[in-house]
Amino acid sequence: MKKILFVLSFLSLVSFANAGIPEIFKAIGSGDITTLSSYFDENVEVYMEGNQEVLSKTEATEMIKNFLNRNKPKSFVQAHQGASKGKDAQYCIGDLSTINGTFRVYIYLKNTGSSYIIQEIRFDK
């Protein structure tokens, strides 16, 4: 019985830790800026095409929307995912295949208690 409870509590922690992350991957891979931006923090650090800026949620949404319109996504494949030592943050790295080539995407997410929000997103060619 103790083993079952341990496994169930572990599985609930794993599913909590990944809350929203599959949706973020799906949104990036399909170019769904509405879903992606729903995970943005109030301010987001955005790095793309050699520029790094801290933008409001609205500005970051517009910038990434324009980027995804120029670089129509084909797919997104997760390469790595991990958590900070204190489990208060996650990072995800993947490859975004677009009509203009492949971009390496880095996402840094903060734990809000019930889900994760994107604080930083980076697109490297």
Quick: pLDDT tens for 54-103. Answer: 999 999 999 999 999 999 999 999 999 988 887 789 999 999 999 999 99
**What's the CATH number where 65 sits?**
3.10.450.50
Question: For the chain, how many structural domains are there in total?
Answer: 1
**Parent domain of 61:** 2-124
Sign of CA dihedral 24, 26, 28, 34: negative
> Cα separations (Å) of 75 from 16, 20, 47, 54, 81?
25, 18, 20, 26, 17
**pLDDT over threshold 80, residue 40:** yes
Across the chain, mean pLDDT equals 86
pLDDT at 9: 41
What mean pLDDT comes out for the span 22-29?
93
